[in-house]
Amino acid sequence: MTNGILYTPLQASEIDELATVLQEDAVYEFIGGMPAQDDVVLGLQNAIQGPPADTDGEYWINYVGRLVQTGEMIGRLEATVHDGLAEVAFLYKSSFWGRGYASEGLLWLHEQLRRYIDVSSLWATTHPANLRCAALLKRCGYLPVPTQGLPKLYSYDEGDFVFRRSVC
């Protein structure tokens, strides 16, 4: 728990609720635009199932965040662990932006990764116009890195800003 938010592993019974919570243009503005509700649900179902069976040493970690006082769902944290690194991401309902929840949630996720999974570095990518995300990553100890010579990053799209943080 952090700052009045309880993070728990995403469960199948929460998928429809989470898809509804995140179904707003602002949430998807920099990640391809708002998908159809059915596509969000399918993506979350796939996230719970994890990587394909032929993927060796890859883990998908998905948490949902809820306000402790009310139980209201506010968003999700995720990490894709592969090749000794973790790619992290976060999506929160826009009415909860600017309150420190995403920063604290990301730091909480770092601790989970440090304690339970053998990774040497944390990575995040963002669209160059997503200045809020870039600022949040910097506040959480990420440093911008050049895009030449990157390790394999599933979340990287040509032109993205890339950030790296040590696990410690």
What per-residue confidence (pLDDT) applies to 34?
93
Per-residue pLDDT of 97-118, as tens digits, reads 999 999 999 999 999 998 877 8
| Span 51-75, average pLDDT | 93
What per-residue confidence (pLDDT) applies to 167?
83
- Here the tokens at position 111 are 């601790």
What one-character DSSP code corresponds to residue 71?
-
What per-residue confidence (pLDDT) applies to 118?
80
What per-residue confidence (pLDDT) applies to 149?
93
What average pLDDT does the chain have?
94
Cβ proximity of 117 and 109 under 8 Å: no
Per-residue pLDDT of 73-83, as tens digits, reads 999 999 999 99
SS3 for 28?
helix
Does the structure show a pLDDT above 60 at 121? Answer: yes
Cβ proximity of 63 and 8 under 8 Å: yes
Q: For the chain, which domains are there?
A: 5-123 (3.40.630.30)
State which amino acid sits at residue 129: A
Does the structure show a pLDDT above 60 at 1? Answer: no
Residues 6+ apart with CB under 8 A from 59: 50, 51, 79, 80, 81, 82, 117
Task: Tell whether the torsion through CA atoms of 32, 33, 34 and 35 is positive or negative.
Answer: negative
- The DSSP bridge pattern shows strands 59-67 and 161-166 to be unpaired
What per-residue confidence (pLDDT) applies to 10?
98
What per-residue confidence (pLDDT) applies to 2?
62
Rounded Cα distance between 154 and 132, Å, is 21
